[in-house]
Amino acid sequence: MKHLIRILTALLVVAMLIPMAISCADTGAGEQSTENASTTAPGGNGGDATTIPEETLFAPSEIPDDLRFDGETIKFLYWQDVENPEFFVEDTNGESVNDAIFNRNEFIQERFGITLEFTGTPGNYNNQKAFVNTCINSTEAGLDAHDFFCGYSMTGATLMTQGIAQDLTNYDIIEFDKPWWPSSLITKATIKDGVYFASGDISTNFLYMMYGCVFNKEMFDNIHNESSNLLYDLVYDEQWTLDKLIEYSTGAFLEQNGDGETSKGDRFGFVTNNIHFDSFYTGSDLYTIISEDDTIKLAPDLSSQKTNDLLVKLCDFLHNTGECWITDSAEIFANDQALFTIDRVQITNKKLKEVAFSFGILPIPKYNNDQEGYRTCMAFPFTTYVLSTASTHSEAAAATLELMAYQSYLKITPALFEESMKLRYADQSDDSFMFDKIRESVVIDLGRLLTTQVDNLSYNIFRGAVNDNATTSWGSAIKAKCSLFEKRIAVVQKSIDKLD
């Protein structure tokens, strides 16, 4: 019965999607979803294997087969100091993600009969203001204006408040109910019934910047004398919680460098960096800014008892148990010195490629068993896509955005998983299911996207309290900080009120 839930999940997927696969073998974008192949559901060892047609792994697009925009040029202004390749590459080079980006763009140009033109300019966290100014100047350029502004995550909301971002819900061809767009774009990031910036599978960096919990399989087996597969089972059973992370981290510490003190050379149950503390807040289904009735407002979560309890539990775990280390976490984990770490998914690609041990990936743990579903926090260096109000062929641009997102979902997402985890995405291993669970649970928190305009209050209040172990002063400090936060939000609201 150990793998029953996984097998039933796989069968349910087949039951829902086989009719879709039969009727939509041609995806509307002029190609099949995947090559014909069969795959084995997770937990498939010998007799309990379940075979799934690979076509069922991907939802179809509804883009009309005969849609063309022959001769159009779609212009992208993008942040050139982006951390990972995303927008274009010069040619194939045998690296899976690089080649997927190249093949995606080639397919789009041929499919629509268009040319994709990319212009780079600095735009990372430190260059946001310059990027926004370049975008504003572009809107005044007439026929030479860019169609899309593709910038660091915080710039999308800034461009919206500047009045130069189109409402993407005006274009029926953009299907925000499809899996290549995060569901929280609609449920959490809608402003005045509109969506003015978007991200998801279309952004390679979006996939890299999702937060996950990575664990050392052999270390888990040795410390707890049982298979690390039970961690996957906890996720399938919706029982992977912060308490479970603390429970299984306990007992892992080992003083192993001979200095008689807790130091970087020891072995730990859990390691992370303070910039990753945000993942616990979001993972607990807590928000900073919400949008209601054309108004953005401070979410009640920040000053709630739940947040206070989360802070107390985290601070005790991180600062008092002796099982944790909160600096140089990627290096320590890669050195086989930690059981768990929480980091951006890109750690698997950038830090763990050459490690000798096996590792797995899990969602950020839930606050408790009462929480419905997992919540994935996004690190800030991903791209938000904005359709410029100065675009002279918005219909073609909107269709290009949708096809680019869909083709990224088909081509880049599996390539990125396979490059990062050294597993075929289509084989539907436990880790591919976990990767999908993380991706499907992404939270687009308006507060994080508006961070620049609210003086970083959307993350540094909670993050700072955890870092400083400030449980005793939290109650008295939060009222003043929330009052300041509300004042910053009121200024942003004035800009939103001007939107059509």
**Closest Cα to residue 435, out of 444, 424, 446, 448?**
424
Q: What is the pLDDT of residue 55?
A: 45
How many degrees, rounded to 5, is the angle at CA 222 between CA 220 and CA 225? 90
50 vs 249: CA distance, rounded Å:
33
Sequence-distant (6+) residues with CB within 8 A of 253 are 262, 266, 267, 268, 269, 322, 323
pLDDT in tens, 159-194: 999 999 999 999 999 999 999 999 999 999 999 999
Helix, strand, coil in percent for the chain, rounding step 5: 45, 15, 40
Query: pLDDT, tens digit, for every residue of 415-436?
Result: 999 999 999 998 889 999 999 9
What's the CA gap between 280 and 343, in Å, rounded?
11
Task: Dig out the tokens for 227 from the structure.
Answer: 């298979």
Burial class (CB in 10 A: 0-12, 13-18, 19+), 187: exposed
- In sequence order, the 6+-apart residues with CB closer than 8 A to the CB of 476 are none
Q: Tell me the pLDDT tens digit for each residue of 353-362.
A: 999 999 999 9
Averaged pLDDT, 335-352: 97
Pair 338, 324: CB distance under 8 Å: no
Structure tokens at 271: 């390691």
By CB atoms closer than 10 A (0-12, 13-18, 19+), residue 443 is buried
- For residue 412, which of 95, 28, 18 has the smallest C-alpha distance? 95
23's CB contacts (< 8 A; 6+ apart) are: none
- Nearest Cα to 58, choosing from 320, 396, 316, 425? 425
Residue 266 has what DSSP assignment?
Answer: S
Q: Do 73-208+379-422 and 211-285+307-377+460-474 share a fold?
A: yes
DSSP conformational letter for 468: T
Over 50: is that where the pLDDT of 33 sits? no
In DSSP notation, 284-351 reads TT--SEEEETTEEEE-GGGGSHHHHHHHHHHHIIIIISS-EE-SSHHHHHHTT-EEEEEEETTHHHHT
Give me the CATH topology for the region 211-285+307-377+460-474.
D-Maltodextrin-Binding Protein; domain 2 (3.40.190)
- Tens of pLDDT, residue by residue over 356-414, are 999 999 999 999 999 999 999 999 999 999 999 999 999 999 999 999 999 999 999 99
CA atoms of 470 and 480, how far apart (whole Å) = 15
Angle at 399 between CA 178 and CA 397, to 5 degrees: 130
Instruction: Output the CA angle 433-438-440, nearest 5 degrees.
Output: 90
Q: What is the pLDDT of residue 143?
A: 74
Full 3-state SS string of 203-239:
CHHHHHCEEEEEEEHHHHHHHHCCCCHHHHHHHHCCC
Neighbouring residues of 94: CB distance < 8 A, sequence distance ≥ 6: none
Distance CA 390, CA 370 (A): 47
- pLDDT at residue 57, rounded to an integer: 76
pLDDT-wise least confident of 21-25, 250-254, 282-286: 21-25
Question: What is the distance between the alpha carbons of residues 44 and 488, in angstroms, rounded to a whole number?
Answer: 53
Question: For the whole model, what pTM was predicted?
Answer: 0.89
> In the predicted model, what is the mean pLDDT of residues 458-464?
96
- The pLDDT, as a whole number, for residue 449 is 96
CA distance 79 to 300: 34
Q: Give residue 56's pLDDT band: very low, low, confident or very high (50, 70, 90).
A: low
- Would you identify the CATH topology of the domain 73-208+379-422? D-Maltodextrin-Binding Protein; domain 2 (3.40.190)
Helix (H) or strand (E) holding 53: strand 51-53
CA distance 469 to 474: 10
What are the structural domain ranges in the chain?
Answer: 73-208+379-422, 211-285+307-377+460-474
Predicted confidence (pLDDT) at residue 16 exceeds the cutoff of 60: no
pLDDT of residue 428: 87
Distance between CA 300 and CA 287 in Å, rounded?
8
Sign, CA torsion 315/319/320/325: positive
Give CA–CA dist 229/246, Å, rounded. 17
- pLDDT given for residue 145 in this prediction: 92
The length of the chain in residues reads 500
Residue carrying structure tokens 């003015």: 196
200, 185 contact by CB (below 8 A): yes
Task: Please state, rounded to an integer, the average pLDDT across all residues of the chain.
Answer: 89
